[in-house]
Structure 1
Amino acid sequence: MPQTETPGIEAIPRSRTAQRIRLRWWTELPLIVMVYASYSAGRLLARGDVSSAVDHGLTILRVEKFLHLNAEHPLNRLFTRESWLGVPADFWYASLHYLVTPAILVWVFRSHAVRYRVARTWLMTSTFIGLIGFTLLPTCPPRLLTASHGFVDTMAQYSDYGWWGGQASAPRGMGGMTNQYAAMPSLHVGWALWCGVMLWRHGRTPAAKVAGIVYPLFTTIVVMGTANHYFLDAVAGAAVMGVGLALTPLVLRFADAARKRLAARFAPVALASWGARSSIVSGECQTSAGERIPRQREPRADPDASPASADDGAPAAAR
């Protein structure tokens, strides 16, 4: 009897039927593009009041200082003082988020197809939870606080080295297309954690597993050192991924149920259409005596039968 495990990060379909089912790139790519476009548009629409965002940022900073978790200041001073650290960190922040995540997604799709649907659903679910966080809690990142709070925007400081300006990682002149107050939670950290889990779980070499640890760890350091996120933003990003993972089985069951309902709704229409075409061929287009259907094979004659017996029309048993 085919066995399947409960949907989750370790869900691996065991049945041969499940293993033969492969999602196609020409259906997955439009889905990924549509979801990312919706997410990007949602970020822009989630822009909140600037004063509220600043208040939220200062509240997070006070909580961190009270808990002695304020790692942003020493890291930011280090990245500001040492350009050999600050410049690579800015490139890391501005590019890898948009390169590594889709690369890992494609890798899982091609090399671990039976796990891809769970991995993709986990990433998408967590991303939409993050969008809810941006909407409910707009947060000013450290780099946008006044100078009296001791933070320096390293991306603005080292903007001559890259394509960005002083508006996060957006290319110069395109700052209006990003929401700079979407700091809580940090999906830079969340997506990096997802990539790390994929590399650790499915990587077949020690280097892949090491990368699965290094990538999310360094990303967490980078987002704080460049003053783009607080430490608690990073913690929230990891928490969002945890909630997304927990909700993934529910989302998959909902998607399967919706697919079945759609199939049940449209299947009768498809069957009726197929039946109509079938009746046209088999019912109305009758062949007359002696007429051959194209590509119809001629009946093979019995080599032992005599010419007379072949033409007498008597049943073979009678002959």
Structure 2
Amino acid sequence: MTKRPGPTRWWAELLLLGLLYGAYSGGRLLARGDADLAVDHGLAILRVEELLRIDFERPLNRLFSGTGVLGIPADFAYASLHYLITPAVLVWLYRRRPAHYRSARTWLVASTLLALAGFALLPTCPPRLLDASYGFTDTMARYSAYGWWGGEASAPRGLGALTNQYAAMPSLHVGWALWCGLLVWRCARRPLVRALGLAYPALTAVVVMGTANHYFLDAVAGAAVMGAGLLIARGLAARWPGGGSVAARRSGGGSVREALSSAGAEPAGPSGAQPARFRGTSPIVSGGWDTSARELLPARRSPAEDDPAAAPR
């Protein structure tokens, strides 16, 4: 018999995600690269976009830098949502959609590791750090008096030196937002929540370009990295099947059913009544208290309710 994996432990998941965030932060610092090389990569991306006429970050940045009512909220969104919504979706999946949690977590981890490799191999200067002659304005520096960040980066004021400002390609802001949006769209039940899930990655793409933190092709690369991570996660799932949903492993339902089957026993029916060939031969340990499918608390039942054949005629 194939051995099933153990239940998902919240503390182990928290440790894993903490290590992932540490690798994300540490990897960005270790992969700073040469500033001149990063600028060359940024200009190369900009030239390709200009050639294809897809340099959408230019008009968006002019709009956000000239309109504070757009630029200030966009800076707050860039500096915070990336670190709030992603863990919130993870916790929601763990608690409310456990059947999807493990595959979603593996998808996120694989994609993030791919992005870290991209930061190391292709250090890229974001538009906001290019020479002013290229026409970009750093909105984070322009509106820094309104937030907790400084003029160097989206890090808290005074800690800009602790982040790698040349990790623009690919955009994990867009990649993680796409991960969140697709999972919310797939797993949420309310139409409004599903619609918000789809809107979130689109809004994030506009924000990262309007604040001059990423090029349009950075956003495209972020989506591509998430696609590659999804393929890796599916390949891992096919090679090492999980043996059932997380919910089934938590409750032990699969192993109990297998044990009953191997012993020649039949599971109880939907109402909790025992199969006919076991009635009268085993004690009712619940004392007649049971719950039906739509009840939250147990209720006392008579034998006639469990066995219609025993009701008086």
TM-score, L = length of structure 1: 0.73
Task: Give the deviation of 1:252 after TM superposition.
Answer: 4.3
Distance of 2:185 and 2:85 partners within structure 1: 15
Distance of 1:122 and 1:168 partners within structure 2: 28
Distance of 2:39 and 2:115 partners within structure 1: 19
| Equivalent residue in structure 2 for 1:69, among 34, 51, 54 | 54
Match of 1:208 in 2: 193
Distance of 1:40 and 1:248 partners within structure 2: 22
Match of 1:60 in 2: 45
Name the SS for the 2:15 alignment partner. Answer: helix
Task: Give the deviation of 1:21 after TM superposition.
Answer: 5.7
Contact 1:183 1:229 in 2 (8 A): yes
Match of 1:303 in 2: none
| Equivalent residue in structure 2 for 1:37, among 17, 22, 25 | 22
Match of 1:88 in 2: 73
Distance of 1:59 and 1:239 partners within structure 2: 19
- Count residues with an aligned counterpart: 242
Match of 2:130 in 1: 145
Distance of 1:108 and 1:245 partners within structure 2: 17
Deviations 1:18-63 (A, max 9, x none): 7x96412111111110121122111110111000000000000000
Distance of 2:21 and 2:7 partners within structure 1: 22
Counterpart check, 1:156 vs 2:141: yes
Counterpart check, 1:124 vs 2:103: no
Task: Give the deviation of 1:250 after TM superposition.
Answer: 3.0
Distance of 2:230 and 2:171 partners within structure 1: 16
Contact 1:22 1:113 in 2 (8 A): no
Task: Give the deviation of 1:167 after TM superposition.
Answer: 1.8
Amino acid at match of 1:224: M
TM-score, L = length of structure 2: 0.74
Q: How does 1:143-292 map to 2 (within 5 A)?
A: 143-252=128-237
Match of 2:309 in 1: none
Distance of 2:229 and 2:33 partners within structure 1: 24
In the alignment, structure 2 segments of 5+ residues that lack a partner are 243-313
Name the SS for the 1:79 alignment partner. Answer: helix
Amino acid at match of 1:130: A
Name the SS for the 1:240 alignment partner. Answer: helix
Task: Give the deviation of 1:180 after TM superposition.
Answer: 0.2
Name the SS for the 1:204 alignment partner. Answer: coil
Name the SS for the 1:164 alignment partner. Answer: coil
Q: Percent identity?
A: 63
Distance 1:167 1:251, change over 3 A: farther
